[in-house]
Chains A and B, each alone.
Chain A
């Protein structure tokens, strides 16, 4: 019993954490939380299944094409729903512009793909559905790879440092002559790739299903809220904790009460610690 709760809790928690990082990456480049974060997770699964199962591409090619397609969606998000709003008087409207784009992505998937979950290919064929099955550890591996990759990018590369500079202080970075707009587009593409990885790695677990987007939007946001905005370490701890809590609650209470419990804990924690449990930077107002 315990192994299976741990396996599925950590697996789904890793997916939430990755979506949380997707939110954070978009936020640090633009100060915008985008509703498309969860949809990218959904697209990772749906496109993976489309390219590999339906179009018959080899898995590795399918993986690369999926991520490329997700990156395009990320860039579209920036161009269509984020950039125009940032120049507006009321920037809060990004909530509605990204929500609208997210709904459009979801609706097109529902109509053109399927409203029923579709199978996702077995990638390695390791395990037989037990706690050591690949569907449980693939998301964890993906999460680890993304974290290591991001650390390397931020610490060792010039582009990564430029990302950091932008997220620290937008105006100062622009004053330094950093190409703020290009970096923002690159961040959105990168965030989208992370979301796509989350979806692809969890394809076997969550299936290629259009409704996963809305689900991941919410549960992927919880780690951000718990861990603090822009705090990736917080998102990972928050995501894994949420996954374990959810599976444990499913097991102990089951069904309706489990999801109500998650929502109530979320709202209470958020009200008690609006900056998250691990802290986030506050913006100057005057």
Chain B
């Protein structure tokens, strides 16, 4: 089964990479049998661990599949895992360790913004190829960081999806934009305000809320009094997100909440006082991980789900974290298969030529000028309360 699917992906991607076949021929005839080593840093424990645990599950499963099938050209893929706990200091140490001591061939992660902002320049200095699952815009800059490629959506793409949904699908022009007063929240609110302003929407309220605030009634009343017709929420704090929904119900205000995927985690679901409080909340999602109006996932995703049933726990995770990590390992394997090399330049040159690589999470395309590989049209909105197997139902209004 593994081989079939691998053959399928290899076939299409191989077409894009034919130009590199010559490079692999130039290598010595004796095959290198040392393992391909992938450095993986993530917050595997601590308060920020949820996404990294999802990525970790996907990556481990993918490694097992590849290695069970004999590896890539006889070479196994090894992951060197470092738990950074979301602490940039630990991530910086770990990055240098992976580069200088372990001497990994390629890095994957870290997913948290503070960490990846710090590690990306270090990897660039060492010309270490890196695949990013992190959404922060500033990470991707082919000029400054020619070695960094993103397999995830960027924040800009998230922002655009939220904006499109409010303005074009819900057709609401008066929005209140807010977030939590964490590093992510403050910057996301700023970007979102800029985006909505550019699209000439009417921003009736914008601000950040202390995530420890025990009651958000005053804030919501202010938004209502200002005439908000939709709430754009960039909070990653579970407590705050649930309080927003509960308070919205308590003051009897039926206004859509549109925003960050954290609004749809199972943890938030535990904290809403009534299930109905979680309705009319829409979060950023992806076509590949969304149930359509017919209640079905796209065939590629469904096939994957069938294969990993009972092997990857999805009920407490998010499907795209898992599939994105699987794609990362596949893409690394593909690069080695095509170039026959684990040199940094080989990876980077290969990634720069990838066009419409059909991953599970989406079709990735890179070019020397564009290292944001995820297609914008894949980013959609989903209903926050519809999680099943890590996937969500498409929000109303999409076809």
Contacts and interface: CB of A to CB of B under 8 A. Distances in A.
Contacts of B214: 8, 11-12, 202, 205-206
Interface string A94-117: 000000000000000011000111
Contacts of B208: 254-256
A118 B270 contact: yes
A173 interface: no
Contacts of B250: 128-130, 133
Interface of B: 45-47, 49, 181, 186, 207-210, 212-215, 217-219, 221-222, 238-239, 242, 246-247, 249-251, 267, 270-271, 273
Mostly, the A contact residues are helix
A5 B246 CA distance: 16
A152 interface: no
A250 B181 contact: no
A199 to B, nearest CB: 13
A4 B215 contact: yes
Contacts of A163: none
B54 to A, nearest CB: 15
Contacts of B217: 4, 8
Contacts of B222: 251
B275 to A, nearest CB: 13
A211 B247 CA distance: 22
B273 A5 contact: no
Interface of A: 1, 4-5, 7-8, 11-12, 110-111, 115-119, 122, 128-130, 133, 136, 202, 205-207, 209, 211-212, 215, 247, 250-251, 254-256, 258-259
A258 B210 contact: yes
Contacts of A4: 215, 217-218, 221
B312 to A, nearest CB: 21
28 contacts: A5-B218, A8-B214, A8-B215, A8-B217, A11-B214, A11-B215, A12-B214, A110-B46, A110-B47, A111-B45, A116-B238, A117-B238, A117-B239, A117-B242, A117-B267, A117-B271, A119-B271, A129-B250, A133-B250, A202-B214, A205-B215, A207-B239, A211-B47, A212-B212, A250-B210, A250-B213, A251-B218, A258-B210
Given A117-B271, A130-B250, 15 more contacts: A1-B221, A4-B221, A8-B214, A116-B47, A118-B270, A118-B271, A129-B251, A211-B47, A250-B218, A251-B219, A254-B208, A254-B209, A255-B181, A256-B181, A256-B208
